[in-house]
Amino acid sequence: MKDKNEFVAFVAIAKRAIAEVFEPQGVQVQMIDILMDLEHVHELMPLRLDEFLAADAGNFGHDIAGIYRHFNRTTLQMDGCFVPRYTAQVAA
């Protein structure tokens, strides 16, 4: 993690994910797991954290559920060719 602002954003995203995505579906998930996934994914493919946090429910749910499902915690890579919608654009 590069700075405090990233950590604050990760915590806000994780809290929203638990409240709006996981708990309503009865999925038991620990905040630390979401935080670690977000940190690793952000290092792998930088996320636009402010936009991700402010996303509408559908896009937010797509990205957080996709990260939770496709991030391989053993290899620290994304499986299934999943790319979150809120990744930073890479200059060509």
- Is 85 part of any domain? no
Task: Identify residue 74 by its one-letter amino acid code.
Answer: T
- Is 68 part of any domain? yes
Q: Are 52 and 60 in contact (CB under 8 A)?
A: yes
- Is 16 part of any domain? yes
- Is 88 part of any domain? no
- Is 86 part of any domain? no
Give me the chain's average pLDDT, please. Answer: 93
Range of the domain at 39: 4-78
Q: What's the confidence (pLDDT) of residue 11?
A: 97
User: How far is residue 20's CA from residue 18's CA, in Å, rounded to a whole number?
Assistant: 6
Q: Are 86 and 63 in contact (CB under 8 A)?
A: yes
Q: What's the confidence (pLDDT) of residue 89?
A: 73
Mean pLDDT of all residues in 28-37: 95
Report field, pTM of the whole predicted structure over 0.75: yes
The number of distinct structural domains making up the chain is 1
